[in-house]
Amino acid sequence: MNLRPVAPLLALVAALLLTLLAPARREAPPVRSRVRVGLVFDVGGRGDKSFNDAAYAGLVEAARSEGIAFELAEPTGAEDREGAMRLFGSRGFDLILGIGYIFSRDIVEVARAFPRSRFACVDFAGDPATPPNLVGLRFREEEGAFLVGAAAASESRTRHVGFVGGMNIELIQRFEAGFRAGVREVCPTCTIHAAYAGTTPEAFRDPLRGKAIAASQIASGADVLFHASGLTGSGVFEAARATSTRAIGVDRDQFDEAPGVVLTSMVKRVDTVVREIIVETSKGQFRPGVRSFGVREGGVDWVHEGPHAAGLQPSTVAAVEVLRGRVASGELRVPSRP
CA dist., res. 63 & res. 225, Å (int): 36
Q: What is the pLDDT of residues 187-204, one digit of tens each?
A: 999 999 999 999 998 999
CA dist., res. 196 & res. 55, Å (int): 24
**Sequence ranges of the chain with CATH classification 3.40.50.2300:** 23-139+270-293, 141-268+304-329
Q: What is the pLDDT of residues 220-238, one digit of tens each?
A: 999 999 999 999 999 999 9
Cα distances (Å, whole numbers) of residue 183 to 115, 156, 162, 199, 310? 46, 10, 10, 25, 21
Name the CATH superfamily, with its identifier, for domain 141-268+304-329: Response regulator (3.40.50.2300)
Q: What per-residue confidence (pLDDT) applies to 19?
A: 38
Q: What is the pLDDT of residues 17-69, one digit of tens each?
A: 333 344 445 544 444 457 999 999 987 778 877 889 999 999 999 999 999 99
CA dist., res. 138 & res. 333, Å (int): 17
Average pLDDT, the chain: 90
Cα distances (Å, whole numbers) of residue 33 to 30, 66, 271, 281? 10, 8, 21, 12
At 78, the pLDDT band (50, 70, 90 cuts) reads: low
CA dist., res. 156 & res. 184, Å (int): 13
Kindly state the helix (H) or strand (E) to which residue 148 belongs, with its residue range. helix 141-155
Is CATH 3.40.50.2300 what the domain over 23-139+270-293 is classified as, yes or no? Answer: yes
pLDDT above 50 for 304: yes
Q: In terms of residues, how long is the chain?
A: 338
